[in-house]
Chain A
């Protein structure tokens, strides 16, 4: 998945007159729209179609047996474990970071903000290598870990660490502007009314950021399950043990097992579609909420 920042559509009111004045001629419009459609078709829809058609090329039974195969099941399980640990960790971290950065002024705040973006700016392969250099046998903590019989690299902990690192910024990034925009006043009001810190967080802060939080979780989860580069470096590609779904797909593909490779890939593609759907729903829902309030506000 590309490392882009999520940008949400803003529902800006557009006046009809302004549209008319800024509209291009018909052929320019069709040319631009056509270019966009062709581009999307070639780079998005065709690959997606190829994934599913190749997956089913050898029939439905091959498709399902590829998914039922023990190594495939192990890869799916490991992917779920990695995402299942990384997402909650980043959820807690994201809220804590957004809270700290959005609500308080402290020394090193801009440095921390930059640091949160680090996983976005560093190549995933480098992210993986960092962990090898720290936890690997020749690494910083390698000897100590070996002495205590703890395996991090080429084992599940390394995969979880790498996944967590790469998906670090998603939730924090989504929440920081939201929390910043909301300011402190509601929390201060809750405190003067006698609410404890937890009550304030649970009853005031959380409801105000819930849609942004859900949006961040969805994106974070998609990236956690699809991560290839960093995980590839720390995994060691041990079949049935340290392969996640993306790694499993690569191995199958390199062995010319195209139909099974695409069968597992179709699961990831489905995840992507489900993510897009969930993301759209969340956006629609939060926009609907805002609109409703605005509309009722006008009649009040």
Chain B
């Protein structure tokens, strides 16, 4: 099912959670709503679900205006941040809930419900834990039960609020790959909220970057990462160094405040060298080196006193044999410029 949110605005008292948001989600897509806390991403998700009603704007499913429909009538699958499993029901009863509460005329038979629940338990690989209560499950298991419960009613849209937020790093990684795989098998239109850019970029077909109740950019992961539309997006999607300066004829001029422009450079797009290459470069002194992990992170002090972050592969680091307090040259390989009136 396709989803359209048209000109959605929502205030909570003085706080504007959403300001004229427009978003289209295609049928079968997996979309991430990405943004810092307070950016309105969860509110937008809840507006789509019908758990929150906007002050103005329209929500359409398959082109049909469903703005006035309640959460119950919209028949979306919703996975809550803290799972919201029914604590007094077993895993089995939790998953069966959506089928059991159907009106008699459309309620499946007891056997059919049982079969459906068994099928979902197999899907989430928790067949042996059907009689456990939510409090007896680990976080990752609860998350999967919440997902199975939402899928039991065969929703045409699956909405997930920070689905991996409360899990530890390793389980997170596993579950998000599993979610991606699940989506590839079921092709159910899915929207998930996250504040983790890595998660959004890895899992989603398209990423919606939000900030202060507005959408900053919508695009495929590589598109938003490589061609950020605003300083905010550039900043939010990864580490970045800011320089005042300008670019003229392919040459980068750094530390020219008068130009009114800001240059953005990702740490891995700065190169450290012992000799100037004749092109754009500046001097710096190595202050800190952290070589744990696949990338070596180097902090250097530029000649004008600002701190600069540089990242390089381990191999390059081994070749360079950098030491602390060493004087080096830093060469920007790619810079991005935004007009200064839009501070990041």
Q: Which residue of A has the minimal Cβ distance to B77?
A: A192
Instruction: For the complex formed, measure the closest distance between the CB of B150 and the CB atoms of chain A, giving whole angstroms.
Output: 8
Q: A199-B101, A204-B86, A208-B87 are in contact. Are A192 and B78 (CB under 8 A)?
A: yes
- In the bound complex, how far is the Cα of B102 from the Cα of A190, in angstroms? 11
- In the bound complex, how far is the Cα of B101 from the Cα of A208, in angstroms? 18
Which of B128-136, B162-170, B248-256, B336-344 binds A? B128-136
Q: Which of B70, B135, B153 has the most CB of A within 10 A?
A: B135
- In the bound complex, how far is the Cα of B138 from the Cα of A36, in angstroms? 45
B97's contact among A188, A195, A294, by CB below 8 Å, is which?
A195
User: How many chain-B residues does the 8 Å CB contact rule pick out?
Assistant: 32
- In the bound complex, how far is the Cα of B146 from the Cα of A193, in angstroms? 11
Query: Which residues of chain A have C-beta atoms less than 8 A from B87's C-beta?
Result: 186, 208
Instruction: For the complex formed, measure the closest distance between the CB of B95 and the CB atoms of chain A, giving whole angstroms.
Output: 10
B98 within 8 A of partner (CB)? yes
> Is B98 in contact with A194, judged by CB distance below 8 angstroms?
yes
> Is B71 in contact with A192, judged by CB distance below 8 angstroms?
yes
> Is B76 in contact with A192, judged by CB distance below 8 angstroms?
yes
Q: Which of A186, A193, A296, A300 has the most CB of B within 10 A?
A: A193
B135's contact among A189, A193, A297, by CB below 8 Å, is which?
A297
Query: Which residues of chain A have C-beta atoms less than 8 A from B149's C-beta?
Result: 189, 193
Q: Which of B51, B86, B101, B138 has the most CB of A within 10 A?
A: B101
- In the bound complex, how far is the Cα of B130 from the Cα of A38, in angstroms? 54
A13 within 8 A of partner (CB)? no
Instruction: For the complex formed, measure the closest distance between the CB of B61 and the CB atoms of chain A, giving whole angstroms.
Output: 14
B82 within 8 A of partner (CB)? yes
User: How many chain-A residues does the 8 Å CB contact rule pick out?
Assistant: 22
Interface residues of B in 257-273 (CB under 8 A from A): none
Interface residues of B in 112-139 (CB under 8 A from A): 132-133, 135-138
Query: Which residues of chain B have C-beta atoms less than 8 A from A188's C-beta?
Result: 51, 71, 78, 80, 84
Instruction: For the complex formed, measure the closest distance between the CB of A100 and the CB atoms of chain B, giving whole angstroms.
Output: 19
A196-222 interface bits toward B, Cβ cutoff 8 Å, 1 = contact, 0 = none: 100100011001100000000000000
Query: Which residues of chain A have C-beta atoms less than 8 A from B82's C-beta?
Result: 185
A300's contact among B72, B75, B85, B137, by CB below 8 Å, is which?
B137
- In the bound complex, how far is the Cα of B100 from the Cα of A199, in angstroms? 10
Instruction: For the complex formed, measure the closest distance between the CB of B282 and the CB atoms of chain A, giving whole angstroms.
Output: 52
B29-54 interface bits toward A, Cβ cutoff 8 Å, 1 = contact, 0 = none: 00000000000000000000111000
A293 within 8 A of partner (CB)? yes
- In the bound complex, how far is the Cα of B84 from the Cα of A248, in angstroms? 52
B88 within 8 A of partner (CB)? yes
A191 within 8 A of partner (CB)? yes
> Is A203 in contact with B138, judged by CB distance below 8 angstroms?
no
> Is B80 in contact with A193, judged by CB distance below 8 angstroms?
no
> Is B133 in contact with A293, judged by CB distance below 8 angstroms?
yes
> Is A192 in contact with B101, judged by CB distance below 8 angstroms?
no
A259-300 interface bits toward B, Cβ cutoff 8 Å, 1 = contact, 0 = none: 000000000000000000000000000000000011011011
- In the bound complex, how far is the Cα of B91 from the Cα of A296, in angstroms? 14
A191's contact among B70, B85, B135, B138, by CB below 8 Å, is which?
B70
Q: A294-B135, A296-B133, A300-B137 are in contact. Are A185 and B102 (CB under 8 A)?
A: no
Q: Which residue of A has the minimal Cβ distance to B98?
A: A193
Query: Which residues of chain A have C-beta atoms less than 8 A from B86's C-beta?
Result: 186, 189-190, 203-204
- In the bound complex, how far is the Cα of B50 from the Cα of A207, in angstroms? 25
- In the bound complex, how far is the Cα of B87 from the Cα of A186, in angstroms? 9
Query: Which residues of chain A have C-beta atoms less than 8 A from B135's C-beta?
Result: 293-294, 296-297
Instruction: For the complex formed, measure the closest distance between the CB of A204 and the CB atoms of chain B, giving whole angstroms.
Output: 6
Instruction: For the complex formed, measure the closest distance between the CB of A294 and the CB atoms of chain B, giving whole angstroms.
Output: 7
> Is A193 in contact with B97, judged by CB distance below 8 angstroms?
yes
> Is A191 in contact with B71, judged by CB distance below 8 angstroms?
yes
B131-159 interface bits toward A, Cβ cutoff 8 Å, 1 = contact, 0 = none: 01101111000000000011011000000
> Is A189 in contact with B102, judged by CB distance below 8 angstroms?
no
Instruction: For the complex formed, measure the closest distance between the CB of B318 and the CB atoms of chain A, giving whole angstroms.
Output: 46
B80's contact among A189, A195, A299, A300, by CB below 8 Å, is which?
A189
B101's contact among A186, A194, A296, A300, by CB below 8 Å, is which?
A194
Instruction: For the complex formed, measure the closest distance between the CB of B51 and the CB atoms of chain A, giving whole angstroms.
Output: 6
B102's contact among A186, A194, A203, A293, by CB below 8 Å, is which?
A194
> Is B72 in contact with A192, judged by CB distance below 8 angstroms?
yes
- In the bound complex, how far is the Cα of B132 from the Cα of A204, in angstroms? 17
Instruction: For the complex formed, measure the closest distance between the CB of A226 and the CB atoms of chain B, giving whole angstroms.
Output: 33
Q: Which residue of A has the minimal Cβ distance to B51?
A: A188
> Is A196 in contact with B72, judged by CB distance below 8 angstroms?
yes
Q: A186-B86, A188-B80, A204-B86 are in contact. Are A195 and B101 (CB under 8 A)?
A: yes
Instruction: For the complex formed, measure the closest distance between the CB of A171 and the CB atoms of chain B, giving whole angstroms.
Output: 20
Interface residues of A in 119-152 (CB under 8 A from B): none
Query: Which residues of chain B have C-beta atoms less than 8 A from A293's C-beta?
Result: 133, 135-136
- In the bound complex, how far is the Cα of B87 from the Cα of A165, in angstroms? 34
Q: Which of A194, A195, A294, A296 has the most CB of B within 10 A?
A: A194
Instruction: For the complex formed, measure the closest distance between the CB of B190 and the CB atoms of chain A, giving whole angstroms.
Output: 14
- In the bound complex, how far is the Cα of B85 from the Cα of A293, in angstroms? 14
Instruction: For the complex formed, measure the closest distance between the CB of B141 and the CB atoms of chain A, giving whole angstroms.
Output: 8
Query: Which residues of chain B have C-beta atoms less than 8 A from A189's C-beta?
Result: 78, 80, 84-86, 149
Q: Which residue of B has the minimal Cβ distance to A204?
A: B86
Q: 5 A-B pairs, CB-CB below 8 angstroms? A: A191-B70, A193-B150, A194-B72, A203-B97, A294-B135
Known: A186-B84, A186-B87, A190-B86. 13 other contacts (CB 8 A): A186-B85, A191-B71, A192-B71, A192-B74, A192-B78, A192-B150, A193-B97, A203-B86, A203-B97, A293-B135, A296-B136, A300-B137, A300-B138
